[in-house]
Amino acid sequence: MTPPVAVTGLGVVSPFGAGVKAYWDGLAAGACAIRPATLIETEGFRCRLAAEVPDGVGGSVRRSRADRFALAAAREALDDAGVGRRERAEAALVVGAVGGGMLEAEAWYWERHRRPTRAPAVLRSTFPSSHAEALGSVLGLGGPRETCVAACSSGAAALALAADLVADGVAPLALAGGVDALTRICFMGFNALKLLDPDPCRPFDRARRGMSIGEGAAFLVLERADRARARGARVWAELAGAGMTTDAYHVTAPHPDGEGMSRAMRGALDAAGVSPSAVGYANAHGTATPQNDRIEARAIRAVFGEGRLLVSSSKSMIGHTMAAAGALEAVATVLALVRELIPPTVHLEAPDPDVAFDCVPCTAREVAVEHAISNSFGFGGQNVTLVFRRA
Amino acid sequence: MRRVAVTGVGVLTGAVAGGADAVRGLLAEGAARAGARAPGEIPASTLTALFDDDDARRLSRACQLAVGAARLAVGDAGLVPGADLGVVVGTEFGDLRSTIEFVDGYLGRGPGGLSALLFPNTVMNTMAATTAIAVRARGLSLTLNAPTVAGELAVARAASAVRAGRVEAVLAGGVDQLDPVLLEALAELGDGGDARSEGAGFVVLEPLEIARARGARILGEIVGSAWRALAARPHGVGRRAARASAIDAALGQARVAPAAVGSVQVSGAGDVARDRWERTLVERALGTHRPRVGMLAPLLGRHSGVAAVAVAAAAMDATASGAPALVNAVARGGTHVCLVVAGP
Amino acid sequence: MEPKEILDELRTILVTRLKFDPRRAADVVLETPLPKGVEGSIGLDSLDFIELSIAIEERFGIAMDEAQDLAPHFASLDTLCRYIAERMAAP
């Protein structure tokens, strides 16, 4: 068992707008931010929807859209945790990212396809590591810096890596999370794979037809629980354990039995020293593809048994925010513990009989739970489970 | 805390392909070849010889580089693949060739020109995913992205995972490939002047007692590893007077005094401002002590696979001299990695 | 379109979209099973079939309805050729 790691700061930019409050208000109300996409061309694609972040995040337009999201969410988290300049110089930074500044790079490449066009300065921010470079420089973070790319589980993987750094005493505190802006490549690719629903996604519904793409950022401040207490910080929750596994099965398809997924859940519970029966809620990966939801439900059942556990998918409201998803959903999980309210799965009208759980359809539920997990899976057979404990 | 043994190396570049013996050969030739232009693209024939038809069809070129080097490393370590093998891959550019091919399909032919097979390669973790499948690694799988030092970062992260007992054995290193569009954009943006090259390389790290128990050949031991962010603007170099906290931390963890360091492998590859910064950082950390400095760039250029060769070279240096060797790497933007490698 | 033409087009797709070696694609006969795991097959997996669907939609101008179970049509080039011919003939 690793030393307890406390969550002392939260910051969010979501399709509900900037800030943790807008995010939680949206989740608690069961609102849906999935609408016709406006940022990119969608002509000729089966699905033309996305959950875009509304205007109002701010930041210099010379930065990539994703960097602006990351900075806003990271600043909110550091302020929330009351982390000062001096402490930041020692702080670790772990960013989960996939798209980087690809939205802007695509704009250049599309133009270059029509006529010779010189590379603009924003192209320097194309790769995923750009977010960490920008955050580290602007916020003065001098501890270990990492950018991890784990497809749709990137944000959760970043939190797991940061928790290791804190638990091992490598850094006194860490800022960690995930960020992604919508990109043409992501939108086109999932369309090509026929994994997008033409209507807003319906996780765990019998008639689900695929996911909806979203965008956003979330960052959390993690520190040793004893340190947080000593400095009188408010502790939102504890990140009690994490499990990371690989299917080593197929580049896109999950293992049909969800073997890697259940191994991640068991590993996280073991690391936390928590028995399955002590967990009351699972914020599912819940993408709403026919395959994911069926296999994830099977994997959850293998670990927790049938029935008792409440399971919901935030993606029904904010879409699949890619590299941000694991971090945004970690925030949802933490707030579910704190507010004693389980966010719902919206658009869930006819539950899939293969999903042997109460998936909290349409309306949030008032339930106090001691432990909750957040699942995040990604292409490449990447599985991450985080276990949170009520403070 | 467990001790971290280096039990194998696998490298696939234009200059060298093979395990520890191939690396030893490259280093022995090194003196004669220093000053020659760093090798560029890896010839297609090198790859076709390594893969059967099914692999060749399914794996993009970047994935072939990673899988090829990983198989060489696993073979070099005499490792039996198992559930606890992990993979940590560092990459600077990912599989950009596939990403561009994917986009070109759309720009040329519309939605019907999009390739489902190429799409997964647009995400940087595909090299780690295909490697995990190829060597049946079902433990931790990580892809770390960073400018120029991603391979060293991957080795440092993997070493800390072994040290903390989170993995039993791990392949750690990196992969990068060159792409014409990338090179053109880098030139237009003013890329610092590194001799960019391509290739893949991995080391196998495992707990020392497990390596000994299975009778593995031990190349060396990673006795210290740390990574920190130096103050710098993105893509810029920082103040030369900065404290090299990654070196201090790695030496502290290794309980090695600066004066005891026998040699240093530096990441310098032709970017004058960054290379000068790195030299100053190393000198500051080591005080008046001036150990021998090795540089692989003249032999291999700069890509994320070089880290594995640097670790193997440091282990060989440390074995020969009896003094621990450093592997140091600094990137524009401030990511700084340091490994302390001792002989077996 | 003649069955022979459809077959030739599918062979081309195997090379251009599914990256088969041209000699391997030329060896594929009507009866060769497609799905991975079937004796004597050319080893296509789920992702390959999506690629094949996209290519067929693009080349033959028909829609592959994924709500339907397409597996029987993807059994061999023979079943696939028939399916494509049927769909092209349909109004």
Nearest CA in chain A to B146: A129
Contacts of C69 (CB under 8 A, 6+ apart): none
Please check whether residues B202 and B230 belong to one and the same domain.
Answer: no
User: Residue B241: what pLDDT?
Assistant: 75
Answer whether B114 sits within 8 Å of C54, measured CB to CB: yes
Is residue B86 included in any domain, yes or no? yes
- B-side interface with C, Cβ within 8 Å? 53-54, 56-58, 109, 112-117, 120
Residue ranges covered by each domain of chain C:
3-89
Are A349 and A334 contacting, i.e. CB atoms less than 8 angstroms apart?
no
Which chain A residues in 184-203 lie under 8 Å from chain C, judged by CB atoms?
A: 192-194
Decide if C1 touches B, using CB distance below 8 A. no
Is domain A5-390 annotated with CATH 3.40.47.10? yes
Percent of chain C with pLDDT over 70: 97
Answer whether C51 sits within 8 Å of B109, measured CB to CB: no
Nearest CA in chain B to A119: B185
User: Residue B45: what pLDDT?
Assistant: 87
Kindly report the nearest CA distance between residue C58 and chain A, in angstroms: 12
Decide if A152 is catalytic: yes
Q: Mean pLDDT of all residues in chain A? A: 96
User: Residue C2: what pLDDT?
Assistant: 82
pLDDT band at B84 (very low <50, low <70, confident <90, very high): confident
Please check whether residues B172 and B47 belong to one and the same domain.
Answer: yes
User: Residue B35: what pLDDT?
Assistant: 54
**B86, B87, B146 member nearest A147 (Cβ):** B146
Answer whether B114 sits within 8 Å of C47, measured CB to CB: no
Is residue B108 included in any domain, yes or no? yes
C-alpha dist (Å) from residue B322 to B258, B291, B310, B344: 15, 13, 17, 9
* H, E, C per residue of chain A: CCCCEEEEEEEEEECCEECHHHHHHHHHHCCCCCEECCCCCCCCCCCCEEECCCCCCCCCCCCCHHHHHHHHHHHHHHHHHCCCHHHHCCCEEEEEECCCCHHHHHHHHHHHHHCCCCCCHHHHHCCCHHHHHHHHHHHCCCCCEEEECECECHHHHHHHHHHHHHHCCCCCEEEEEEEECCCHHHHHHHHHCCCECCCCCCCCECCCCCECEECEEEEEEEEEHHHHHHCCCCCCEEEEEEEEEECCCCCCCCCCCCHHHHHHHHHHHHHHCCCHHHEEEEECCCCCCHHHHHHHHHHHHHHHCCEEEEEECCHHHHCECHHHHHHHHHHHHHHHHHHCEECCECCCCCECCCCCEECCECCCEECCCCEEEEEEEECCCEEEEEEEEEC
Residues of chain A contacting C70 with CB distance shorter than 8 Å = none
Decide if A251 touches C, using CB distance below 8 A. yes
> What's the CATH number where B327 sits?
3.40.47.10
CA distance linking residue A32 with residue A203, whole number of Å:
13
Decide if C58 touches B, using CB distance below 8 A. yes
Decide if A255 is catalytic: no
Answer whether C19 sits within 8 Å of B117, measured CB to CB: yes
Is domain C3-89 annotated with CATH 3.60.21.10? no
Decide if A285 is catalytic: yes
Decide if A170 touches C, using CB distance below 8 A. no
Which chain A residues in 123-142 lie under 8 Å from chain B, judged by CB atoms?
A: 123-125, 127-130, 133-134, 136-137, 140-142
Decide if A199 touches B, using CB distance below 8 A. no
Are B79 and B137 contacting, i.e. CB atoms less than 8 angstroms apart?
no
Decide if pLDDT at B280 tops 80.
yes
Answer whether C19 sits within 8 Å of B57, measured CB to CB: yes
User: Residue C71: what pLDDT?
Assistant: 87
Residues of chain C contacting A252 with CB distance shorter than 8 Å = 46-47
Please check whether residues B160 and B249 belong to one and the same domain.
Answer: no
User: Residue B242: what pLDDT?
Assistant: 80
Please check whether residues B248 and B209 belong to one and the same domain.
Answer: no
Any chains having at least 3 CB pairs less than 8 A from chain C are A, B
Decide if pLDDT at B127 tops 80.
yes
Decide if pLDDT at A238 tops 70.
yes
pLDDT band at B34 (very low <50, low <70, confident <90, very high): low
Answer whether A157 sits within 8 Å of B226, measured CB to CB: no
Answer whether A193 sits within 8 Å of C50, measured CB to CB: yes
Residue of B55, B58, B102 best to disrupt the C interface, most CBs of C under 10 A: B58
User: Residue C90: what pLDDT?
Assistant: 82
Decide if A44 touches C, using CB distance below 8 A. no
User: Residue A369: what pLDDT?
Assistant: 98
Residue ranges covered by each domain of chain A:
5-390
pLDDT, average across residues A370-379: 97
Helix (H, G, I), strand (E, B) or coil at B18: strand
pLDDT, average across residues C55-80: 88
Decide if C19 touches B, using CB distance below 8 A. yes
Output the six-digit token pair for C15: 């090379």
* Dmax (CA) of chain B: 64
**B56, B109, B116 member nearest C51 (Cβ):** B116
Please check whether residues B152 and B53 belong to one and the same domain.
Answer: yes
Answer whether B117 sits within 8 Å of C43, measured CB to CB: no
Answer whether C20 sits within 8 Å of B54, measured CB to CB: no
Residues of chain B contacting C47 with CB distance shorter than 8 Å = 116-117, 120
pLDDT, average across residues A46-68: 95
CA distance linking residue B286 with residue B261, whole number of Å:
8
Total CB pairs under 8 A between chain B and C: 31
**C18, C57, C58 member nearest B57 (Cβ):** C18
User: Residue B36: what pLDDT?
Assistant: 56
User: Residue B239: what pLDDT?
Assistant: 85
Single out the catalytic residue among A131, A255, A320, A347. Answer: A320
Nearest CA in chain B to C15: B57
Output the six-digit token pair for A222: 């993690």
Is residue B218 included in any domain, yes or no? no
Answer whether B57 sits within 8 Å of C20, measured CB to CB: yes
**A143, A244, A249 member nearest B133 (Cβ):** A249
Domain count, chain B: 2
User: Residue B38: what pLDDT?
Assistant: 58
Strand partners, A388: A239, A372
Decide if A46 touches C, using CB distance below 8 A. no
The model's pLDDT over A276-324, given as tens digits with 9 standing for 90+, comes to 999 999 999 999 999 999 999 999 999 999 989 999 999 999 999 999 9
Q: pTM for this structure?
A: 0.97
Nearest CA in chain A to B137: A248
Identify the domain containing residue B39 by its residue range. 4-213
Please check whether residues B335 and B313 belong to one and the same domain.
Answer: yes
User: Residue B82: what pLDDT?
Assistant: 62
pLDDT band at B31 (very low <50, low <70, confident <90, very high): low
Decide if A21 touches C, using CB distance below 8 A. no
- Could you say which of B171, B189, B213 is where a domain stops? B213
Kindly report the nearest CA distance between residue A346 and chain C, in angstroms: 23
The residue with tokens 């391509």 is B198
- Could you say which of B156, B188, B213 is where a domain stops? B213
Which chain B residues in 121-160 lie under 8 Å from chain A, judged by CB atoms?
A: 122-126, 128-130, 132-133, 136-147, 153, 157, 160
Please check whether residues B201 and B68 belong to one and the same domain.
Answer: yes
**Cα A290 from chain centre:** 20
The model's pLDDT over C9-44, given as tens digits with 9 standing for 90+, comes to 999 999 999 999 999 999 999 999 999 999 999 999
User: Residue A62: what pLDDT?
Assistant: 92
Residue of C65, C66, C68 best to disrupt the A interface, most CBs of A under 10 A: C66
Nearest CA in chain C to B109: C58
* Dmax (CA) of chain A: 61
- Could you say which of B194, B213, B232 is where a domain stops? B213
The model's pLDDT over A248-270, given as tens digits with 9 standing for 90+, comes to 999 999 999 999 999 999 999 99
Answer whether A144 sits within 8 Å of B228, measured CB to CB: yes
Decide if pLDDT at A218 tops 80.
yes
Residue of B143, B170, B253, B274 best to disrupt the A interface, most CBs of A under 10 A: B143
Single out the catalytic residue among A47, A152, A186, A359. Answer: A152
Decide if pLDDT at B203 tops 80.
yes
Which chain A residues in 154-193 lie under 8 Å from chain B, judged by CB atoms?
A: 157, 161, 164, 168, 170, 184-185, 188-193
Decide if pLDDT at B78 tops 70.
yes
pLDDT, average across residues B187-208: 93
Decide if C49 touches B, using CB distance below 8 A. no
Answer whether A143 sits within 8 Å of B228, measured CB to CB: yes
Output the six-digit token pair for A345: 């799965």
Q: Mean pLDDT of all residues in chain B? A: 94
User: Residue A343: what pLDDT?
Assistant: 98
Contacts of B234 (CB under 8 A, 6+ apart): A124, A125, A130, A133, A134, A137, B333
Interface confidence (ipTM) of the complex: 0.97
Residues of chain A contacting B235 with CB distance shorter than 8 Å = 124, 133
